[in-house]
Amino acid sequence: MVLTYLHTLVIVFSLSASILHADRIIDFDRQIRPILSEYCFACHGPDANTREANIRLDTREGLFAEHNGIKPVTPGSTLKSAIIQVITSNDDNKIMPPPTTKRKLKQQEIELLKQWITQGATWSAHWAFRPIQPNNTIQFNQHPIDYFITQKAQKQQLSIAPEAPRQSLIRRVTLDLTGLPPTPKETKNFIEDKSPNAYEKVVDRLLASPRYGERMAWEWLDAARYADTDGFQNDPTRSMWPWRDWLINALNNNIKFDQFTKEILAGDMLPNNTKQQRLASAFNRNHTYNNEGGRIPEETRVENVMDRVETTSTIWLGLTVACARCHDHKYDPISHHDYFKLYDIFNQTSETGKQGYGRAKPIMFHTNPEQEKSLASIIKKIKKHNTSNPKNIDHKTKLKTLKKQERKLKRTIPNVMIMDHLPPEKRRKTFILDGGAYDKPTNKLVTAGIPKFLNNNKNNKQNTTEFNRLELAKWLVSNKNPLTSRVIVNRYWQTFFGKGLVTTVEDFGSQGAKPTHPQLLDWLATEFINNGWDVKQIHKTIVTSKTYRQSSKINPKSKEIDPENKLYTHAPRYRMPSWMLRDQALAISGLINTEMGGPGVKPYQPKGIWAEATFGKIKYQPDTNKNIYRRSLYIFWRRIVGPTMFFDNAKRQECEVVQNRTNTPMHALTTLNEPLFVESARAMAERILSLPENKRITFAFQLATARHPEPKETQFLTKTLNNLITEYKKSPNQAIALLNQGYSKRNPKLNPSIHAAWASLCSILLNLDETLTKE
């Protein structure tokens, strides 16, 4: 080790004069593997079936050993390294990658490879598959997050920004933790609180709010491809909302992440499992379900099993195992065989794939106490009649009526699709499917297990007793697995900073991005495990850092050096997700209805959306009560045509963890014209008009942005308001027309022209970039 190090140093020193930028030691994992992965692995990588010339470059052995007289890499000698010879060849028959691939290495990439070889070609395993590095030798003299962020920023002569003004900070953290803006009173209290732990008190209050679980549920609903219908033909309704409510409760109760994992993946298999734990297992039934006529059930069933494999892998492992469905993964060491080891785990449930119309078995009846009682009583009566005299005609009629009653009652009870585990005698045999096709089983029998490359414990359970869903869940959150904790804290980072430390939150494999701050990622991952997988605690850790609390103002120097803010020298500012914009408008207007849970609600929707997608078979009936003002996560989600007021959201058709953020005219049309936004502006105006005239502009502006307007802004908004008043005074009918929209009624005591002018001003405020943006 020491020798290699010295050797490398000497070489670097002696060559530094002749090679540009050779003053830095090339990091194999960060700089070289991505090149090899990009250009070489497809034909010289993990996939044994397509491996050319039996040369593989994704392993240490493959890179350095000699095969048939070819040595891909000889440390220290580019001349004796075949890889350099082929990538720089002028001969079309020799050059790699071959011209048919239409891919070519860039000069800079070739130079990097050369330098790496010259420097001694040190090799290391892919970062994400190595054990988490706890960094326990570092003595932190500040918040560890700030330590790592500052350390890296300083290398570029940058430092983190000063703390954001209090009104920005409270708005940011309230939106981040609850998905709603702070009330003017909350903002005021925080600004006036001079105690040293003022901010911490706010954070604790927010973490304890029931709105926290609702906010944190959103990303889980996207990842879990949660919807209220099956998708595909006829798009039948299902009732999986009890699972959604379970999720919100679990997050609010701060169920520890390891327990959470066991419950949602295998609640039905836990010893002495409760009804709630069985309900948790519905997570694995949230996938789409194809009920198309003429469909072969096995095809549907296989597709669903695959969906479970891929969803689980994305959420907990950050691995793109779908590639291995048809063949060995081209870039990561996941074999076709490994895929089916995971497949076997999810293959052992009684789901048949037959048409299920929203309640494909296995299901559970999600009864409320009253229904529970009635059902029990009917079942008891049926039993009695069955045993007393089954042949008596009277009994028969009575029995018929009772059974009818039972069926009727069961229809009113939500049927939640959950998981079960087949008993040993019914266990399915898993054969590798050729090309992943349901109708092409090979004769290769596979038994459950984790991918070989992650199995670092040869004596673990999968070799002795049955490895099943519960064992998988336990392994996912065990210290034997280097991925889960990293993957999860990385997504939390994304929740608060808009992007992950690993920007490819869905892919921690060799084609994914490298962490911008690997030590920080590992510190967070360790911290998460050491605090007992306490989610609220890790959220608190993140939001109390200076890195999180800094101003989002972009300073010119960091913009020039680091335009993408990879160094986090200012807080991010970005447009909030569309669901949060809607919730924000509801909160600002005071229309919001904070009732929790229950079946999906149906707010306003333009006429004909469902009808047009379903040939008039399904028509949308909006609610005609205060359900219209419920939070976004309770909105009924028809899978084939999702709620119309959301944009950039996951489609809820397959697991999605990446955040999509675009900026298009359609978004402007939504927040300007969508009826709920229009009604919110009108209700907001009503709130404002209850104040004395001289306080109105300030209050309105504060409601929208949490800050005081500058004098110039107040002036400008007052002028705009007066213009609008003039307009509406000219046409009071217009004013009334605007005010009469929406389910809630306007306050008739207000002057319509003034009210309407204020409503249009409030619409302006709801559409300010500052209001749409978390900053």
In the complex, least distance from residue 238 CB atom to another protein, rounded to whole angstroms: 16
Give the tokens for residue 773.
């943006």
Q: Are 132 and 148 spatial neighbours (Cβ–Cβ below 8 Å)?
A: no
d(CA 132, CA 148): 16
Close Cβ partners of 20 (under 8 Å, ≥ 6 residues apart): 111
CA distances from 503 to 30, 490, 499, 539 (A): 14, 9, 6, 19
Give the strand pairing for 441-446 and 430-433: antiparallel
CB of 124 to another protein, least distance (A): 19
Q: Minimal distance in Å, beta carbon 247 to another protein?
A: 23
Nearest approach in angstroms of CB 175 to another protein is: 17
**Nearest CA among 758, 752, 760 for reference residue 733:** 752
Answer whether 551's CB lies under 8 Å from 707's CB.
no
φ/ψ of 25, rounded to 5, equals -80, 130
Location of structure tokens 């090899």: 36
CB of 673 to another protein, least distance (A): 4
CB of 734 vs another protein, minimal distance in Å: 5
DSSP for 15-77, written as a single string = HTTTSTTTTS---IIIIIHHHHHHHTHHHHSS-GGG-GGG---SSHHHHHS-BTTB-S-BTTB
Task: Report residue 271 as tokens.
Answer: 């010893």
Is 152 or 330 the residue whose CB approaches another protein more closely?
Answer: 330
Smaller CB distance to another protein: residue 189 or 773?
Answer: 773
In the bound state with another protein, the residue whose beta carbon lies nearer, of 86 and 672, is 672
The Cα–Cα gap between 704 and 171 comes to 10
CB of 775 to another protein, least distance (A): 7
Phi (first) and psi of residue 746, to 5 degrees: -70, 160
Q: Which amino acid is at 161?
A: A
Residue 344 near residue 398 (C-beta atoms within 8 A): no
The whole-angstrom separation of Cα 174 and Cα 705 is 12
**Run of H or E residues at 312:** helix 297-312
- Closest distance of CB 267 from another protein, Å: 27
To another protein, the closest distance from the beta carbon of 761 in angstroms equals 8
Helices (H), 413-555: 469-476, 484-497, 518-530, 535-543, 546-549
**Residue 10: which H helix or E strand, with range?**
helix 2-15
Query: Nearer Cβ to another protein, position 586 or 678?
Result: 678
- In whole angstroms, the minimum distance from the beta carbon of 219 to another protein comes to 17
Q: How many residues does the chain have?
A: 775
Please state the closest distance from residue 596 (CB atom) to another protein, in A. 29
Residue 740 Cβ, how far from another protein at the closest point, in Å?
8
Longest dimension (CA), the chain: 104
Indicate the residue among 285 and 540 with the shorter CB distance to another protein.
285
Nearest to 565 by CA among 289, 286, 775, 408: 775
**Cβ at position 724, least distance to another protein in Å:** 7
> Which residue lies nearer to another protein by CB, 2 or 666?
666
Helix (H, G, I), strand (E, B) or coil at 664: coil
Q: To the nearest whole angstrom, how small is the minimum distance from the Cβ of residue 486 to another protein?
A: 16
Which residue, 547 or 565, is less far from another protein as judged by CB?
Answer: 565
- Residue 211 to residue 182: CA distance in whole angstroms: 12
**Residue 669: count of CB within 10 angstroms of its CB:** 10
Q: Coil, strand or helix: which one is 709?
A: coil
Quick one: 587 or 650, whose CB is closer to another protein?
650
The CB-based long-range contact list for 267-275 (8 Å cut-off, 24+ gap) reads 267/419, 268/418, 268/419, 268/420, 268/421, 269/421, 269/468, 269/469, 269/470, 270/470, 275/364
Task: Say how many C-beta atoms besides its own lie within 10 A of residue 766's C-beta.
Answer: 23
| Residue 87 vs 678, nearer CB to another protein | 678
Q: Is the peptide bond preceding residue 606 cis, with omega within 30 degrees of 0?
A: no
Least distance from another protein to the Cβ atom of residue 750, Å? 15
Q: Nearer Cβ to another protein, position 382 or 672?
A: 672
